[in-house]
Each structure stands twice: as structure tokens, then as C-alpha cells.
Structure 1
Amino acid sequence: MARTSGTETREKLIRAGEEVFAAQGVDGAQLRDIVRIAGQSNPSAVQYHFGSRGGLLDAVMAARQERTERVLAAGLARTGGDTGPRGLRALLTALVTAEATELRTERGRRCLRISAQLSHESGVRTRTPHPTIDGTVYWELIGRLEECLARAVPEPVRLERLDLALTMIGAAMADRARQYLAGTTPLTGEDVFLADLVETTAALLRAPLPTLETP
């Protein structure tokens, strides 16, 4: 039997991790299933190559981030410096367009289902990015989105809305990916879905501030 290199084994484990994390959930995934699907005989293969379940999950997300970063960088370069409503929509369009590239492949669809489970770990609310997105174009875009809201929305509400908006985009993409993986037909075509997601997210971010009645 031909021996495989460490790099090849890591890639097999990452691919298997994508499959199992998407199917079983981030918290419910069984490492033994990942090792088996990756064709490894060592039951500790994940720990050996990644240190832990979390290390493998970070590697899965880093590979997914690398794919979308290239598209996002090009989209961000075209947005200009407008911080008004048009600029906000341009930034959201760049983000949604980049995320939608993951819908093109089965691997990407699985990764969308995984990343939606991790949106609470982004660090938006504390401005402390998760290591996998620190220094990325994605984190830069989040900062640009906040600039668009800085004058109209106070900081605590602004950060909460940004976190909710990113969670909504992730959840919408994950649900679309689920439908594609299951072979079901979505209610809307993809062009309508993506355009509506941009508009819905923009509306959430720029919604009027609530007026609280004093007792």
C-alpha cells in the first residue's frame, strides 16, 4: 500500500471534517466518523494532525475563508468609499456575492452549513476577531459596514445589528445550501434570493431606532 504524506492526510481529514460537521453539527460530530471517512487507521489522527476537534474545525473554516477571500477582495475593491445607503448596499452585495460562490460546489455548500453554526464566534460585538478571520478582507468589510452606520446608529446597537446581520446572511446561505444538497427546489431563483438578501440585510442595519416609552 502506498504511503500518503502528512499534507495529503491533513487534506483528507479536512474533507472528511467538512462532511461530518455539516451532517452531524459542529458539537455533535464524531471524530471516529471523520477518521473513518478519511480512510485513516489511527483513531487519534485528528489530534495528531490538528491538536483537537477545534483545530480541525479551524482548518476547515480557514480553507473556506481562503476561497471566498479572493472573490471578496475583488468585490470590495469596486465599492469605493461611499458610507451612505448606496455604499452600504455595495458592501453587502460584495459580501453576499462572495458567500454565494460556496453554493456552486458540494464542498462549499457543506462549509456554509458549518459556518452558520459559528457566527456567534466572529467577535463582532467585542471587536475581537476570531483567529480565523483576524486580518482578513472579511474583517475589513465588517469595519467598513460599521462606518456606514456610525452616524445614524449608536455603538451598542450598531454592533448588535452587525452581528445579527452577519448571522442572518450565514443562516440564509446555509438554508439555501441545505436545499441544494437535499435536491429540493427553492421558492425563488438564486438571483432573486441574493438580491433580496442584500435588501433585507440593509433594511435591518438601517432600521429606525426604537422609541422607548417611559413608565
Structure 2
Amino acid sequence: MVRDASGTREKLVRAAEEVFAAQGVDGAQLRDITRLAGQANPSAVQYHFGSRAGLLDAVMAERQRRTEAVLAAELSARGLNGDTRAPEGDPSPDLLRALLGALIAAEASELATGRGRRGLRVSAQLSHESGVRRRVPHPTLAGTRYWEVIGRIEECLTSLPEPLRLERLDLALTLVGAALADRARQYLADATPLTGERLFLADLVETTASLLRATAPADGRTAP
């Protein structure tokens, strides 16, 4: 029974990845997910995940599990496992680029498989739920290396006022998610991107770093 339940959950998660990616998180129909998963019971999602939101969290948790392993390896390869915090008030461009490079490389590892590409298409629709602006991670991000790296990136931006810093960081992560999701869309459609993947990722790191390090406007240094 336990094996059967686990197998059913896995089928529902995989089906949800496909349907959420194709129809959108808000437009997807649960009946299409249960049908694709081969489940005769229309209440299978509620039974195994409690709700549509619970199923979506399971999809994102599975994707996060895959990228966490890659992120750990990227941080180690770049010498970022130790205490490499930026001095207060110092934007530390080299450290910022290294952290962004590790994070983007981990996320981009999902481009290698159809399942990963669909996951990127889904997660890009949920970037506003990460919790960055409130510093309260979504449950699927709590305690992850991903969330740790976000905090370390913020430490590279202490010259910016806090509200602007958090808003810009959230915007930058949204940009990364949207760019990778669009790349995934092209791969899934067998379209040929304008640039090779190596150049695309290097440019994404530089573009994101430039966005984060842009000089704050004069009226952005005071509270509204």
C-alpha cells in the first residue's frame, strides 16, 4: 500500500509538471492532471496532496531537490562554501558574480531534460511567491542552499537602502526565472535560440549583476 501510494503521488507530480507547464498554473485543470496520471478517482489530488496548492508545492519541491545538489557542487567548485561574506557597504562585484554564477548554473541544469524544462516553465510563474521581499521563504525554499545564496547576494548590496535592495533582488530573481523559462520553451518547441547556451548563461549573469549593482536614484535613498 505504501509503495502504491508513493507511485501514485509520483505519477501525479509528473503529470502536474506537464499540465502546469502547458496550461499555466492558474489555467490548468486538475481533471487533466488526474487523467494524464492514469487515475480514475477525480479526487486523487485532494487525497494525496490536500489541495491544488499542495500539488504545486510538491512539484516545486521536487525541482528544488534536483537543483540543490547542483548548487552545492557549484558553490564548492567556486570556493564559496566558506565565509566569503562581503564587507559592509561594499558591493563586491566579483563575489556577487560568483554567487549569481553558481545560482544560475544550478537553475540552468534543468534545461538538460524535458522534465527540468517543464519545471522551469512552472516555477517562473511563481517567482512572486518566493518570499524575498519579506525575508520569509516559501516552505519549499526554507532551509535550502538556494535561500542561503539569496541572503549572501543581498549582503553584497548593502550600499542600497533596504526596501530598494529587497525589491531589486526580487526583480532580479524574476528576471532569471523568466529568462530560463523562455529558453526552456524554445527547447521544448525545438526552436533554435539566438545564442548558444554558454553565452546565454554568461550574459544572464552579467545582466543580472548589472541590474543589482545599478546606482540607486537619488530619491530612492529615502523612504516614500
TM-score after normalising by structure 2: 0.91
CA distance in 2, matches of 1:71, 1:148: 22
Aligned residue-pair number? 209
Q: 1:105 aligns with which of 113, 118, 121?
A: 113
Q: Pick from 179, 191, 194: which aligns with 2:201?
A: 194
Deviation for aligned residue 1:82: 5.2
**Which of 132, 135, 155 pairs up with 1:127?**
135
Give runs of aligned pairs for residues 35-184 of structure 1, distance below 5 A: 35-77=34-76, 78-79=79-80, 81=84, 83=86, 84-150=92-158, 152-184=159-191
**CA deviation vs aligned residue, 1:59-113 (integer Å, no higher than 9, x gap):** 0000000000011112223225152110000000001100111000000000000
**How far apart in 2 are the matches of 1:192 and 1:205?**
20
Find the aligned partners of 1:143 and 1:48 in 2 and give their Cα distance: 36
SS of residue matched to 1:67: helix
- Unpaired segments of 5 or more residues in structure 2? 87-91
- Does the Cα contact within 8 Å between 1:149 and 1:205 map onto a contact in 2? yes
Contact 1:146 1:162 in 2 (8 A): yes
The 3-state SS of whatever aligns with 1:5 is: helix
Task: Provide the rounded CA distance (Å) in 2 between the counterparts of 1:124 and 1:74.
Answer: 24
Q: Residue type matched to 1:38 in 2?
A: A
**Is the CA contact 2:85–2:155 (under 8 Å) kept in the aligned structure 1?**
no
SS class of match (1:132): coil
* Distance across 1 between alignment mates of 2:85 and 2:41: 54
The residue type paired with residue 158 of structure 1 is: R
CA distance in 2, matches of 1:212, 1:130: 31
SS at match of 1:14: helix
CA–CA distance in structure 2, aligned partners of residues 62 and 48 of structure 1: 18
Other-structure match for 1:33: 32
Aligned-pair distance for 1:209?
1.1
Q: CA contact under 8 A between 1:61 and 1:111: conserved in structure 2?
A: yes
In 2, the alpha carbon distance for the partners of 1:147 and 1:211 equals 21
User: Deviation digits for residues 8-54 of structure 1, max 9, x if unmatched?
Assistant: 00000000000000000001100000000000100100000000000
Q: What do you get for the CA RMSD once the two structures are aligned?
A: 1.2
Match of 1:5 in 2: 4
| Distance apart, 1:212 and its partner CA | 3.9
Question: Tell me, what secondary structure is at the counterpart of 2:6?
Answer: helix
What TM-score, normalized to structure 1? Answer: 0.95
Runs of 4+ in 1 over 6 A off after TM superposition: none
2:214 maps to which of 207, 211, 214: 207
Partner of 2:89: none
Secondary structure of the 2:175 match is: helix
Percent identity, aligned pairs only, is 73
